[in-house]
Amino acid sequence: MYACVFVCVLSVCDAVMAAGFSVESVAFGMGGGLLQKVNRDTMSFATKLSYIIDEHGNERDVMKRPKQEGSKTSLPGVLRVVAGEQKGTLSVVPGVWNRETKRSEGAGESVMRVVWDCGPVEGCWDEFDVLRARVESQWTDAPPVHDVVSGELKAKSERWVEEFNAREARKQQCDGQDGVVKQQQVDGVEQTGSVGNSA
């Protein structure tokens, strides 16, 4: 017996009939995968890297921007979720990483809380009735449509893309030169080398 989703059920039925047996001789269990398949694809959810500090202490914003699937573009830098200007809304805004407190800082009070830190954090879990009341209140206050990405963060993303495109253009320009010894700065690291083909 193995876990199976709806597409898998159809495949099993096809194989049974191809072998000359009746589908009535097969029994399927009703697990959660058939009843409600909830995963990051069905929820349109993904976790992506947005900011790193390397082993030398250098900080850098990171952004995913696939050429062919714009819907998978991510947001760069340290992010904060704060109450929006309109009642019942939230906004994602840029933040600054505080290395001492290991928390993001910036404008507005963050609505995110640490609930798990190598185990459950005591005192941060609400009773279910409190949670239910908060969700009902926020749900009625929330507008039907709202863009959670702040204007400031959109501008930061556009600057990141412009800087990336400029770096790529310089790189392509250098790759097109023959036998030129070139010095360039890539992501804060100075590199010297010869580009082009040698005869």
**What's the whole-model pTM score?**
0.60
- Cα separation of the two ends of the chain: 64
The strand pairing partners of 180, in sequence order, are 195
Cβ atoms < 10 Å from Cβ of 95: 21
Report yes or no: 131 and 125 within 8 Å, Cβ to Cβ: no
- The 10s digit of each residue's pLDDT in 144-164 is 888 889 999 999 999 988 988
- The 10s digit of each residue's pLDDT in 68-84 is 777 788 899 999 999 88
